[in-house]
Amino acid sequence: MSIDPAAASPADSAPAYAAPAVEKALDILEFLAETPGPVSQQAIAQRTGRSAAQIFRVLSVLERRGYIARDEGSGLYSLSLRLFELAHRHDPIRSLVWLAQPIMRRLAAAVGQSCNLGYRAGDHLVILAESAGPGDFGFRVRVGAEFDLRGTNAGRVLLAFAGAEAAAGDAELVDVELADTLAVIRAAGIAEQPDGLYPGVTDLSAPILSREGVALACLTVPYVATSLSTHPAGFVRDELLAAAAAITELLAGADA
């Protein structure tokens, strides 16, 4: 007896298209992406609902292909930057960086400070591009660096301009105090706050927006106010907003 796939229910047809090894690999990658530090094989097995023996081969393949890294001393696993590298090759990401970099270089030269471009990956902020300032002294952020979305100025900008649909899914990330902060950011169109990790640095962040007003990325100047600073924060703020608007306009043209 033959069965018409179109007539079968999702539950009936799902096993015919199952790929257990792929499911295991994706479960492992998603778990490691959500985990702040290295974890053991046993912890991965427990979290993914499988035995250590079931995931051993998958872990080996992921390690061999460079998607995860295993510490030889402790045997703990962590996510590598391989997925970031693949995403960086993706056309929208490449287009964003390609269009933004000339403007970022001009911004860095104009304000005498470095600037960086970040985007959202789950509940993390990932640095896509960075442009150094012209001086001998400044603050820089490594391309590929990841930070907690809620704990960074740029991350809060991305949350503030996430759009209604994404905001509904962010309910667990946003408490009452943070919701008030995000409302202020939306009203101002920019966020300015002392860096939570580095005293003496004030992060100025502005969104790169889609035509619908949703944040695609965030442009940040980690402003260092010292005797070597060539411009006041107000000037840097204005230049940052102009640069973010220029990138937004270019992206709109690229999508046309």
Quick one: pLDDT at residue 5?
Answer: 38
pLDDT of 57 above 60: yes
Q: What is the mean pLDDT of residues 127-138?
A: 82
Q: What is the mean pLDDT of residues 218-224?
A: 93
Q: 128 — phi, psi (to 5°)?
A: -90, -40
Q: Whole-angstrom Cα distance, residue 152 to residue 65?
A: 32
Quick one: pLDDT at residue 178?
Answer: 82
Which two structure tokens, joined as six digits, stand for 135?
Answer: 């001086």
**pLDDT tens, residue by residue, 85-131:** 777 676 677 788 989 999 999 999 999 999 999 999 888 899 999 99
Domains within the chain, CATH numbers bracketed = 10-80 (1.10.10.10), 85-255 (3.30.450.40)
Q: What is the mean pLDDT of residues 58-68?
A: 94
The highest-confidence range among 15-29, 163-177, 238-252, by mean pLDDT, is 238-252
**pLDDT tens, residue by residue, 164-203:** 766 666 766 777 888 888 999 999 999 998 877 677 788 9
Question: Out of 8-17, 121-130, 145-154, 184-193, which region has the weakest mean confidence (pLDDT)?
Answer: 8-17
Task: Calculate the average pLDDT of the chain.
Answer: 84
The sign of the CA dihedral 110, 116, 118, 123 is negative
Q: Rounded to 5, what percent of the chain is helix, strand, coil?
A: 50, 20, 35
Where do we find the tokens 């229910």?
A: 9
SS3 assignment, position 139: coil
What is the reported pTM?
0.65
Of 12 and 60, which is predicted with more confidence? 60
Q: What is the mean pLDDT of residues 72-97?
A: 82
Number of Cα atoms under 13 Å in the Cβ half of residue 122: 14
Q: 205 — phi, psi (to 5°)?
A: -130, 135
Quick one: pLDDT at residue 109?
Answer: 93
In sequence order, the β-bridge partners of residue 221 are 204
The DSSP string of 160-175 is HTS-HHHHHHTTTT--
